[in-house]
Structures are given as structure tokens and as C-alpha cells.
Amino acid sequence: MSGEMTSVSTEAVAARPKRSYLPELISWLILVAGLIVLPSYGSVYVVYMVCLIAINVIATVGLNITVGYTGLLSIGHSAFLGVGAYASALMWMHLGTPLIVNMIVGALAAFAIGLVFGIPALRIRGVYLAIATLAAQYSLYFIFQQWTSVTGGDRGLSLPRIDVFGLGDTGFYYVVMLTMLVTCIAARNIFRTRVGRSFIAVREKDYAAEVLGINVIRTKLIAFGIGAAYAGVAGSLLAVFLRIVNPDQFTLVVSVFFLAAVVVGGRASILGSIMGAVFMTLMPEILRFVLEHATPEGADLARLLSPLREILFGALIVGFLIFEPRGLVGLVRRAFGDTETVEARAGEH
């Protein structure tokens, strides 16, 4: 390599952090400050939506650890949300344990159930995990629905209102925000550790990872289990948030929703998961708004809404995979003049 080129490239590398870190930090701080003061100024609807988005962010980050970072396809994510939701709801109803304990139990339960489905599938290369998680989706739905004495069957479980720090719903809002913050930072930091790096190594080339001394099967299991545990945390928050848990919250459509959030936001990017979850949570609302104003009077909106959502979820997955594999994060980077498309395609996973 010529000296000139080296100097150019080091300059470019040196220039980058200066340009990007400070504004990024400031915008994150503004966002956090905004979220802290939001309950005092925002309407009930806004607070509700922000809560829902935050819960979806947690679940999406979890799925991204499995799908984006480790390259394992899970199409039963909502079933693990369900495990967390039922576990924490049952804990609360029968034992009256505090929310934090319920969240941990929800995470552990989802982790354990995840391993039940993951262990047979992850010993083999290929897309077997996808089949196993599809089986998890159907069989866990079936258990939620049929084990009436515990899960309440189709009617599900109704939970009492929760009171955190004596602040009521606002207190719960802060709990959700704090959990989101902690889980996102934890996810970001895990990829600076040995374990997290080994996830990426396994995704890139499992043989090479094995040669480097990484236990591939154990790494895959941990990655899948962590993804399920994130879903468990999100599920236990969702149970408290909606104050009802029933089987229809945890269907295949919901799993496709989270997969779409990962793909749309950007695989292997925490920021991407956040953007994807925000986008995908708001999209059905926008769709409903558009439909209400675009369709003639008397058209049956409810009948159209759910299939239209399915079309949109599917089309977003397919469209982003074909045209922008880096997701919204890639679009934003490109908008800021960072055109690494060729490199991104080559290094895609």
C-alpha cells in the first residue's frame, strides 16, 4: 500500500469519531430527558404508546441478538413473550411477588423453555431452529389455550392494577423505561465481551469459530436463550401493562411482527432494533388512521385491518431484505453520506 493512501485512510478514521460522538451523545441525552418528563406533559395516549414501544424495543433487541448477531432464525419469538407473560402473571396472582422478581422469573422461564426447543435444533447446522421455533409457536399457543386450570384458557388471566413507588401508572412507565435502558445497554455491552464476540464469530463462519476454540453449540444455545429471556422480560412487562394475558396476544403474526422489526430496523444493530420497534409499533396506528380517512363510510375496517397488517409486515421483511439489507439504520447512514453499500453487501450475514 502506498504511503499516500495510508495517510488518507488514517485521516478518515481519525476524523470520524470527532464528527459523530458528541452530537450522538447529546441527542441520546435529549431523548432520555424527554422520556423522563413525558408523563407530566404527554397525553394518556402518548404515554401508552411510548410504553408499548419500549416493551417492543426490549423484545426486538432480544430477537436481534438471536437473528441479527448470531444468525439464527427464530420465528416463534412471541411464544417466549407469552411464557414470560404467563409466568410473571401467575407469580403475581398467586404469590404476590414484586414486579422485579416477576420479571426475572419471566426471563428465566422463557430462557428455560427456549432451551427445550433450542437444544435439539441447534446441534445441527441449517435452519432447523426455524422449524423448532415454529413448533414452539404452535405448541405453546396450544398450551396457553388448553391448560385452562392454570392459564384461564381463551379468556386468559386478568391482573389487578399495579402501583409502583406509589405513582400508579406513571411509576410503571418509569419501570418500563428503566428496563428498556438497562436491557439495551446490556445488549450493547455484551458484544464487547468474549461471549458476544463469539456470537458474531459463529454467525460469520462456524467452522472458523470452532477452530478458534469457541464451543459453537453452547454459543448458539446461549444466544438463543438470551433472545428468549429478553422476550420473557418484555412479556412480563406486557402482562402488567395490558393487565390481561390471553393466548391471542402470542400468535405467529406477532412473531412475524418482531422479525419484521429486526429486519426493518437493521440486523445486528441495537440502534436498528430501537428504530425498527418504533417504526413497527407506530405503523399499525398510521395504517388505521389512513384507513379511517381513505375508505368510504360503512366499509368494515376491522376485517381489513388485520390482513392488511400481515401484507405490510411481509412486504417490509421482503422489501428490506432485497433492497436495503442494513435496514433503517442503513438508510439513515446513507442519508448522512455514509455509502458503504458494496461493503455492507459483502459483509452481510
342 near other proteins (CB under 8 A): no
- The helix/strand/coil state of 72 is coil
112 near other proteins (CB under 8 A): no
User: Using CB under 8 A, which residues numbered 238 to 277 contact other proteins?
Assistant: 253, 256, 259-260, 263
**Residues shown for the chain:** 349
Report the nearest approach of other proteins to the CB of residue 312 (Å). 8
Report the nearest approach of other proteins to the CB of residue 290 (Å). 15
Report the 10 Å Cβ neighbour count for 197: 16
Nearest residue (CB) to other proteins, 155 versus 349: 349
What value does the CA radius of gyration of the chain take, rounded to a whole number of Å? 21
115 near other proteins (CB under 8 A): no
The correct pick among 188, 197, 288, 309 for binding other proteins (CB under 8 A) is 309
131 near other proteins (CB under 8 A): yes
CA angle (196, 230, 172) in 5-degree steps: 135
Report the 10 Å Cβ neighbour count for 166: 7
> Which amino acid type is present at position 77?
H
313 near other proteins (CB under 8 A): yes
- Report whether 16 contacts 139 (CB < 8 A): no
Size of the site for other proteins (CB under 8 A): 52
CA distance 245 to 298: 32
Q: Which listed range, 52-60, 102-110, 138-146, 152-160, lies at the site for other proteins (CB under 8 A)?
A: 138-146
Report the nearest approach of other proteins to the CB of residue 322 (Å). 6
149 near other proteins (CB under 8 A): no
Nearest residue (CB) to other proteins, 169 versus 206: 206
Work out the end-to-end distance of the chain between its first and last CA atoms, rounded to an integer number of angstroms.
29
Tell me, residue by residue from 179 to 208, as one string, x for binding to other proteins by CB under 8 A and - for no binding.
---------------------------xx-
User: Using CB under 8 A, which residues numbered 71 to 90 contact other proteins?
Assistant: 71-73, 75
Report the 10 Å Cβ neighbour count for 288: 15
Q: What are phi and psi of 158, to 5 degrees?
A: -105, 135
The correct pick among 28, 142, 165, 289 for binding other proteins (CB under 8 A) is 142
Report the nearest approach of other proteins to the CB of residue 131 (Å). 6
Q: Which listed range, 46-54, 126-134, 155-163, 175-183, lies at the site for other proteins (CB under 8 A)?
A: 126-134
- The helix/strand/coil state of 349 is coil
Strand partners, 245: 157
User: Using CB under 8 A, which residues numbered 9 to 68 contact other proteins?
Assistant: 67
121 near other proteins (CB under 8 A): yes
Strand partners, 158: 244
Per DSSP, 68 falls in state I
Q: What are phi and psi of 157, to 5 degrees?
A: -110, 135
CA distance 62 to 231: 6
146 near other proteins (CB under 8 A): yes
Sequential DSSP letters for 195-231:
HHHHHHHHHH-HHHHHHTT--HHHHHHHHHHHHHHHH
Query: What residues line the site for other proteins (CB under 8 A)?
Result: 67, 71-73, 75, 120-121, 123-128, 130-132, 134-135, 138-139, 142, 146, 206-207, 210, 216-217, 253, 256, 259-260, 263, 303-304, 306-318, 321-322, 325, 348-349
